[in-house]
Amino acid sequence: MKVAIRDQAVTLGRRSTMVGIVTQPVNHVPGELPAFVILNTGLIHRIGHHRMFVTLARRLAAAGHQVLRFDLSGIGDSESRGEALSPLESTLADIGEAIEWIAKTGGARRVILLGLCSGADHALVYGRSDPRVVGLVLLDPSIPPTRQYHVRYVAGHLVRARSWLDLFCGRGRFWNTVRRWAGDQSDELLERHRLRLGDPEIRTFLEKAYQDAMGLGIQCLAVFTSGFPHQHNYRRQLLDAFPRVRFAGQLRLEYFHRSDHVFTLEAERARLFDMVMGWTAQTAFVEPAAVTRSFAAPRGLHATAGSAPQNA
C-alpha cells in the first residue's frame, strides 16, 4: 500500500534563521523509526545535485521515516549565524541545532546523518558528539591516500594518452607540484582550500573519528565512487587507510565503479537510493547511549567549499 507523505517548509535553529524541509508520512508516528538529517554538500543547498536529496527524502518518508534536509547557515535560504565561529564550528553548531529541533518538534529519538563529500565529513565529525546519532550514510567522505592508492593512480595515468600530452605540454598535477617547489604561487588558492589528507594530524583525527563512531555502536554505510580519483580509487581504501579501526559488523562498504562524484547517471542514483533504503531496513540501530561525546578538530580540518550552487 502506498504511504501518503507530505513536505513542509520549516525554520529552525536557536534563532530560527535556518530553513529546511521536513518530509514525512502523513500519519507519522514519532520515534518509531530513526529520523534522517541530510546535510549540505559544500555550497549546494538542500535539494542536492540533480535534486537527489528531494527524491531520496520522499522515498525514505514513504518507508515511514521522518527526513529533515536543511540549509546550513549562510547557504541557500538560511541566514548567516553572525557569530565569530570557524566554518567547521559553525557547521557543527548548525547540525546540533537541527537535531535538537527534530527531536523536540518531531519526536525523533534516533537520528541518521547523511551527507555527500564535505557533508559526509561533517556527519562523521559531528556523529560522535550527540548520543542521538545512531547511523551515518557517508557518500565519498575524505580518506587519506594509501600505498595501493598511489600505485593505482600512477598506473592509471601511465596508460592514458592525455597524461603524456599534459606532461609534454607542462600541464597537470606533476607540473603544478614542480611549480610550487620552484616558488610559483599560482595554485595557492586551490591548495589553501584542499584538505591535506596526507597530513599525519588529519589522518589521526579521522581515524579517531571512525574509532569513536564504532565504539559508540554507530552503524555506517560508506559509498565511494570512481568520480573522485584525486582522493580515492579503490573499494578497500577506507579499511587500508585506518587498519587499527575495528569496523566489525558496523560498516557496509560499497564502491560505484561507473558513477561520478555527484551520481549524475540516473541508473547510478537509483542504485544508490535502493542501497540506502535496503541498508536502513536491514540494520538494527542501537538506542541512544547516555554518554557525553566531544571532539577536537586538528588545525588543518575545516569546512570545505565544495561545488558551486545549483539552481532549483
CATH code of the domain containing 98: 3.40.50.1820
What grid cell was written down for 5? Answer: 507523505
Give residue-wise pLDDT tens across range 89-101. 999 999 999 999 9
Whole-number pLDDT of residue 196? 76
Give 256's strand partners: 225
Give residue-wise pLDDT tens across range 221-257. 999 999 998 899 999 999 999 999 999 899 999 999 9
Considering the domain boundaries, does residue 9 fall inside one? yes
Residue 218 in contact with residue 112, Cβ under 8 Å?
Answer: no
Considering the domain boundaries, does residue 294 fall inside one? no
Examine the fold and report which residue of 159, 192, 225 is the final residue of a domain before the chain moves on.
Answer: 192
DSSP character string of 120-171:
HHHHHHHHTT-TTEEEEEEES------HHHHHHHHHHHHT-HHHHHHHHHT-
With cell 589528507, the residue in question is 197
Write out the residue range of the structural domain in which residue 219 sits: 5-145+202-282
With cell 599525519, the residue in question is 200
Mean pLDDT value of segment 289-297 = 54
Overall residue count recorded for the chain in this entry:
312
189 has pLDDT over 50: no
Confidence of residue 183 (pLDDT cuts 50, 70, 90): low
Verify that 21 and 129 share a domain, yes or no. yes
Verify that 174 and 245 share a domain, yes or no. no
Considering the domain boundaries, does residue 300 fall inside one? no
Verify that 233 and 272 share a domain, yes or no. yes
The mean predicted confidence, pLDDT, of the chain is 85
Q: Where are the alpha helices (DSSP H) in 4-86?
A: 52-62
Considering the domain boundaries, does residue 163 fall inside one? yes
Confidence of residue 194 (pLDDT cuts 50, 70, 90): very low
168 has pLDDT over 60: no
Verify that 10 and 26 share a domain, yes or no. yes
Considering the domain boundaries, does residue 222 fall inside one? yes
Mean pLDDT value of segment 15-34 = 94
Number of domains in the chain: 2
Verify that 9 and 102 share a domain, yes or no. yes
Strand stretches in 60-147, DSSP E: 67-70, 111-116, 133-139
Q: What percent of the chain is predicted at pLDDT more than 90?
A: 69
Considering the domain boundaries, does residue 181 fall inside one? yes
Residue 210 in contact with residue 124, Cβ under 8 Å?
Answer: yes
CA separation for the pair 104, 92 (Å, rounded):
18
Verify that 126 and 173 share a domain, yes or no. no
Verify that 133 and 151 share a domain, yes or no. no
53 has pLDDT over 70: yes
Verify that 208 and 127 share a domain, yes or no. yes
Verify that 216 and 155 share a domain, yes or no. no
Considering the domain boundaries, does residue 47 fall inside one? yes
**pTM score, two decimals?**
0.84
Verify that 168 and 234 share a domain, yes or no. no
Whole-number pLDDT of residue 161? 52
Verify that 140 and 153 share a domain, yes or no. no
Considering the domain boundaries, does residue 56 fall inside one? yes
Residue 224 in contact with residue 193, Cβ under 8 Å?
Answer: no
Whole-number pLDDT of residue 302? 47
Mean pLDDT value of segment 281-287 = 93
Verify that 59 and 129 share a domain, yes or no. yes
285 has pLDDT over 70: yes
Largest CA distance in the chain: 66
CA separation for the pair 95, 99 (Å, rounded):
6
Confidence of residue 155 (pLDDT cuts 50, 70, 90): confident
CA separation for the pair 117, 304 (Å, rounded):
9
